[in-house]
Amino acid sequence: MTEPVIPEGILSLDRSSDVSLSEQIYRGFRDAVRKGLLSSGTRLPSTRRLAAMLEVGRNTVNAAYDLLQAEGIIFVRTGAAPRIMNGLPLEGMTHNRSSTARKRSLSKRGILMSDNIRGVGWAFRHGVLQPGAPALDCFPYEEWARCLRRAARLERSPDLQYQNYTGLPALRQQLSRHLAAERGVRADPEQILVTSSMQSSLSLLAQALSDHGDEAWLENPGYLGAKTAFHAAGLKIRPLPTDEDGADVAATDISKSPSKLIYVTPSHHYPLGARMPLARRLALLEAARASGAVILEDDYDSEFLFAGRPVAALYGLAEEGQVIYLGTFSKSLMPGLRVAYCVVPNDLVQPLTQLMRNMGCSANVQAQAALAHFMDSGCYQKHLKQIRQIYRSRGEQLVDTLRSRLGNRIHVEIPTGNVQVSIMFRERIDDVRLAMDLQSHGFAVSPLSNCYLGSDAKSGLIIGFAGATPPQITKGVEILGNLIEAVG
C-alpha cells in the first residue's frame, strides 16, 4: 500500500529550539487538525516512514504519536497505519468561522441568471407524464452503444484537443444534410453551431444579440426556457399573442417596436401545440423586417408530425440573417445526450465561435462523434420512423382517456405532433397546487398558467405522453380525476 505523504508546511522542525523534536512533531499535527489541514480519518505515515522523512530517530516519532494518541487526536491499530480520529471537532475554528466569515451574495447579473422563472409547481425532476420527455423504453440502445464504441476510437484524435468549439465537422455535415432534406433549411456546415442544450443556445444568442434593457417578444403563453434566457440577459419581455394558429403578429404592434429578438415555435407551438400557417409565417417575417428584429425559430420537435404535410421552416422562407434556426436531440433521442444546435448567418459565425470558446458552452465531442455515425448509418431516420407511430398512439390514448375520465371539465385537442398536450380547465382550479399533488404521486406534469405573461393566465396542465406507457397513462389520468373530484 502506498505510504501517505504529509502536506508541505504541516511539520517544520527547528533543531536549534529548546522544544524537543518529539514535542514539535506532536504540536505540528495537533495544530494541523485544529486548523482543518488534516481532516478526520486521514491516514498518517508509519513511525518508520515519518522518521525517514524528517531525518529523526524512530523513537522520537513514537513519542510524538504516543502524545497524540493519549489526547485522542489519532488512533493506532496494530498492523495498520495511524489515522486522525473520526469526528474530531476543530478546536477554536467553529466560533471564528461563524463570527468572522463574510456572507457571500450574487451580483445583480448573477441574481437575474439564477432566478427560477419557471415558477412554483414546475416539474424539474423526471417522472411519468413529464412534458418533453422522450420514450426511453423505445430507445435503440444497442445501435447507440455501437456508435459510442466507435467514437471511443477518437481517443488519439486531434478532435479531442482545443478545437472544434462550435461542433465536430462530421456532425455538422450530417446536420446540414438532414436539415436540407427534412426542413428545407439550407446552410453550410460552418453555419451550424453545436451546443449542449436548447437552453444553452438561447442563452448564448440572447447575450450576444441584445443589450440590457432591449426588448424581446415571446409567445404568450410561451416556452419558459426562452423567458429565462431573456430575463437573464436583462431584456424587457413583451407578450406575443397566440391563438389556435399560433403566434399572431397582427394582434399587436410588433412592427412598430424597436425589438431585438422574437422567439417563436411555429412547427408546434409550445405549450398549446398549434401549427403556424404559411400566411402567418410570412406576416411574422415582414413584421420582424420592419422592426429590425432577429427571429429565433425553435423547431424543437418538428420530427413528430402525425397528420398533414409539414410546413416549411421560417428559415427557408426568410432573407439571409433574418432568422436563426434552433434544434435539439433531447426529444428525438434523450435529454442526457446534451446535444443541440443553431443555424446562424455567415456574418455571425466568427464572433459566435469566439464567444462559444470564451463561455465554454460546447457539447461533448465523443457524443457528437457517436451521433454523427448514428445519423450517417441510417439509424436516426429508422428510429424516428418507429417512434412517430408510438408517439401518435400514446398521444391519442392520453387525449381519449382524459376526455373519458374528465368529460366537459376540460378542453384538450388530439395532437397533430409534439410530445405533450395541454389541457385547459373549464372551471376554477389551482393548477399549480394540482400539479404539485400529481408530482407527489410520481407524475411530473406542469401547470399551464406558469407559461403566461401577465395576469390573464389560463388554468390547465401540460402533460407529456411520449415517454409514458399505456398503463402509466391510464393510472395518471385516474389519479388526476380523483384529485379534481376531491377539490371540486
255 or 349, higher pLDDT: 349
474 or 47, higher pLDDT: 474
- Percentage of residues of the chain with pLDDT beyond 90: 56
- pLDDT at position 8 is 63
Into which CATH architecture does domain 21-95 fall?
Answer: Orthogonal Bundle (1.10)
- pLDDT at position 223 is 96
Helix H, strand E, coil C: the string for the chain is: CCCCCCCCCCCCCCCCCCCCHHHHHHHHHHHHHHCCCCCCCCECCCHHHHHHHHCCCHHHHHHHHHHHHHCCCEECCCCCCCEECCCCCCCCCHHHHHHHCCCCCCCHHHHHHHCCCCCCCCCCCCCECCCCCCCHHHCCHHHHHHHHHHHHHHHHCHHHCCCCCCCCHHHHHHHHHHHHHHHCCCCCHHHEEEECCHHHHHHHHHHHHCCCCCEEEEEECCCHHHHHHHHHCCCEEEEEEEECCEECHHHCCHHHCCCCEEEECCCCCCCCCCCCCHHHHHHHHHHHHHHCCEEEEECCCCCCECCCCCCCCHHHHCCCCCEEEEEECCCCCCHHHCCEEEECCHHHHHHHHHHHHHHCCECCHHHHHHHHHHHHCCHHHHHHHHHHHHHHHHHHHHHHHHHHHHHHHEECCCCCECCEEEEEECCCCCHHHHHHHHHHCCECCEEHHHHCCCCCCCCEEEEECCCCCHHHHHHHHHHHHHHHHHHC
d(CA 183, CA 309): 12
- pLDDT at position 407 is 94
pLDDT per position as a tens digit, 224-242: 999 999 999 999 999 999 9
Q: Which residues of 415-449 are buried (b: 16+ CB within 10 A; e: fewer)?
A: bbbbbbbbbbbeeebebbebbbbbbeeebbbbbbb
The whole-model pTM stands at 0.79
The residue ranges of every structural domain in the chain are 21-95, 139-377, 385-487
- pLDDT at position 95 is 45
The band of 2, judged by pLDDT with boundaries at 50, 70 and 90, is low
The band of 3, judged by pLDDT with boundaries at 50, 70 and 90, is low
Range 88-91, long-range pairs (CB < 8 A, 24+ positions): 88/33, 88/40, 90/33, 90/34, 90/35, 90/36, 91/34
The band of 106, judged by pLDDT with boundaries at 50, 70 and 90, is confident
- Say whether domain 385-487 belongs to CATH 3.40.50.1970: no
- pLDDT at position 94 is 46
- Write the CB contacts of 304 (distance below 8 Å, at least 6 apart in sequence): 268, 331, 332, 387, 388, 391, 417, 418, 419, 466
473 or 64, higher pLDDT: 473
- Say whether domain 139-377 belongs to CATH 3.40.630.10: no
Q: Which of 59-63, 141-145, 194-198 has the lowest mean pLDDT?
A: 59-63
- pLDDT at position 378 is 95
The band of 51, judged by pLDDT with boundaries at 50, 70 and 90, is confident
Please name which of 268, 227, 277 lies closest in space to residue 249, comparing C-alpha atoms: 277
Q: What rounded mean pLDDT belongs to the chain?
A: 89
- pLDDT at position 259 is 86
- pLDDT at position 101 is 56
What is the number of alpha carbons within 13 Å of residue 47 lying toward its C-beta?
A: 17
- pLDDT at position 342 is 96
User: Mean pLDDT across the stretch 101-130?
Assistant: 85
Q: Which of 24-28, 67-71, 304-308, 455-459 has the lowest mean pLDDT?
A: 304-308
Same fold: 21-95 with 139-377: no
- Percentage of residues of the chain with pLDDT beyond 70: 93
Q: How many CB atoms lie within 10 A of CB 411?
A: 13
pLDDT per position as a tens digit, 440-485: 999 999 999 999 998 889 999 999 999 999 999 999 999 999 999 9
Q: 463, 129 in Cβ contact below 8 A?
A: yes
Q: 423, 464 in Cβ contact below 8 A?
A: no
d(CA 184, CA 186): 6
- pLDDT at position 470 is 94
Q: Which residues pair with 446 in a beta bridge?
A: 462
- pLDDT at position 92 is 47
212 or 72, higher pLDDT: 212
Please name which of 95, 336, 68, 323 lies closest in space to residue 205, comparing C-alpha atoms: 323
312 or 83, higher pLDDT: 83
pLDDT per position as a tens digit, 412-424: 999 988 899 999 9
pLDDT per position as a tens digit, 361-381: 888 889 999 999 999 999 999
* Cα→Cα distances 234→210, 211, 251, Å: 9, 8, 25
- pLDDT at position 164 is 84
